[in-house]
């Protein structure tokens, strides 16, 4: 049929076709939130945002440079798509919902201009909670810088509210410098995280600000944060929270960010981070952050006292080995293999345990699969380390095909 294209698989149950101008030129799927860019072309919002987020600066259809990245909602086209969906409901087509538009930047500026007052900050917090789109609108230097100022030295209630908004919106390098470059502000974060009488919500928000500042800046900034009283201990306490997944997740992210700096790793081990993270890995609970948890564990295993703390935290050598072997899949595989090298090195019994736990098959998959070269080198090194523990007569044990230098 001229002017139409097939519906995506799953909707085309009755041979129905959708007009081509209802489909996003990028995804070729029915648009749910059509927006128009500076060149006049229309795309589904999620697709064009992804296009721009990956570094593209041209219009996908015309290839013309985008003068700006403003996305204007195409309400007329969206209503036509909705009417078309309703007209074909009997054929199994569901009406697309009316998308909630991002917060108006003028509203954000108006609220920020009111200064450190609770009603405005509560409205900002509600908007930040509402959607990623709102947080993206709020993530300007002006907004973040104003929130930093309000989060430190504005009175306890205002500070708590501003800190909560800042935790959701995040920071850029300039705002991170404004926090870490002021000794009293770093001390305030340490007091919130490690102090008695602070609510769990305030601790989580302070930890999120620590993580944001560490992620947005360099190693020197991370070292300053890691050395502050209360911060490392406070993050470890969050990782050990029993019934608050967000607290655990933020704690893991914070420890990972700080442990990127070598100076912080002995401090982290001393604060109990290695044991706490190992317990989470052994539980398989990672709170949605298994890759960061294992990356931190791998680094701490290479720190004095870290390997023993990881083993103790996981419940003993055999339990640690089994947990790390289980974790050797997906994006976490490289860090699990690196940590396992430290755990089984020098222990024949733990090397045998690793083979019994199935490390061989996991490592061979890493070597033969689509892992990074660094991950493959770690897997090859671990295979070589475990070679003496392989069953006698195993054909792989007598082969050097997979055993390249580390």
Q: Which residues are paired to 4 by β-bridges?
A: 19
Give the C-alpha separation, 234 to 140, whole Å: 29
Residue 177 is predicted with a pLDDT of 92
Q: For 69-108, give the DSSP string.
A: ---EE-HHHHHHHHHHHHHTGGGTPPPPPPPPPPPPHHHH
Residue 83 is predicted with a pLDDT of 94
Residue 71 is predicted with a pLDDT of 87
Q: Supply 30's token pair.
A: 């029915």
Local structure of residue 23 (DSSP, 8 states): B
Residue 4 is predicted with a pLDDT of 41
Residue 11 is predicted with a pLDDT of 47
Residue with tokens 């792989």: 396
Residue 404 is predicted with a pLDDT of 52
Contact 158, 117 (CB under 8 A): yes
Q: For 245-293, give the DSSP string.
A: HHHHHHHHHHHHHHHTSTTHHHHHHHTTHHHHHHHHHHHT--TT-HHHH
Question: CA triplet 45, 50, 54: central angle to 5 degrees?
Answer: 150
Q: Which residues in the chain come in under a pLDDT of 50?
A: 1-14, 393, 397-399, 401-402, 405-406
- With helix as H, strand as E and coil as C, how does 295-308 read? HHHHHHHCCCCHHH
């Amino acid at each position: 049929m001229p002017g139409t294209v097939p519906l995506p698989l799953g909707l085309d149950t009755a041979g129905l076709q959708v007009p081509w101008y209802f489909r996003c030129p990028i995804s070729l799927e029915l648009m749910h939130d059509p927006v128009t860019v500076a060149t006049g072309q229309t795309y589904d919002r999620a697709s064009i945002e992804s296009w721009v987020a990956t570094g593209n600066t041209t219009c996908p259809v015309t290839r013309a440079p985008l003068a700006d990245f403003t996305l204007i909602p195409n309400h007329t086209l969206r209503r036509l798509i909705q009417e078309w969906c309703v007209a074909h409901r009997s054929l199994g087509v569901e009406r697309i919902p009316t998308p909630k538009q991002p917060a108006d930047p003028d509203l954000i500026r108006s609220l920020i201009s009111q200064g450190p007052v609770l009603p405005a900050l509560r409205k900002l917090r509600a908007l930040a909670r509402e959607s990623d789109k709102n947080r993206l609108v709020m993530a300007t230097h002006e907004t973040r810088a104003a929130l930093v100022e309000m989060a430190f030295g504005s009175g306890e209630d205002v500070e708590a509210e501003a800190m909560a908004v800042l935790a959701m919106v995040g920071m850029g390098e300039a705002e991170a410098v404004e926090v870490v470059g002021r000794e009293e502000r770093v001390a305030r974060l340490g007091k919130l995280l490690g102090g008695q009488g602070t609510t769990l919500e305030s601790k989580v928000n302070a930890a999120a600000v620590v993580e944001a500042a560490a992620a947005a800046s360099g190693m020197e900034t991370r070292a300053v944060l890691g050395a502050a009283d209360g911060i490392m201990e406070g993050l470890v306490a969050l990782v050990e929270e029993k019934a608050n997944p967000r607290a655990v997740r933020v704690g893991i992210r914070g420890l990972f960010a700080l442990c990127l700096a070598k100076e912080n790793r002995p401090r982290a081990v001393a604060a109990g981070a290695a044991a706490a993270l190992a317990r989470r890995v052994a539980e398989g609970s990672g709170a949605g952050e298994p890759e960061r948890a294992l990356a931190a564990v791998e680094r701490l295993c290479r720190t004095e006292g870290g390997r023993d703390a990881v083993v103790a935290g996981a419940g003993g050598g055999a339990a640690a080995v089994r947990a790390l072997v289980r974790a050797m899949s997906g994006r976490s595989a490289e860090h699990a293999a690196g940590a396992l090298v430290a755990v089984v090195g020098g222990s024949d019994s733990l090397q045998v345990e690793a083979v019994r736990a199935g490390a061989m098959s996991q490592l061979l998959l890493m070597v033969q699969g689509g892992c990074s070269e660094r991950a493959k080198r770690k897997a090859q090194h671990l295979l070589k380390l475990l070679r003496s523990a392989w069953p006698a007569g195993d054909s792989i044990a007598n082969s050097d095909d997979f055993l390249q230098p580390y």
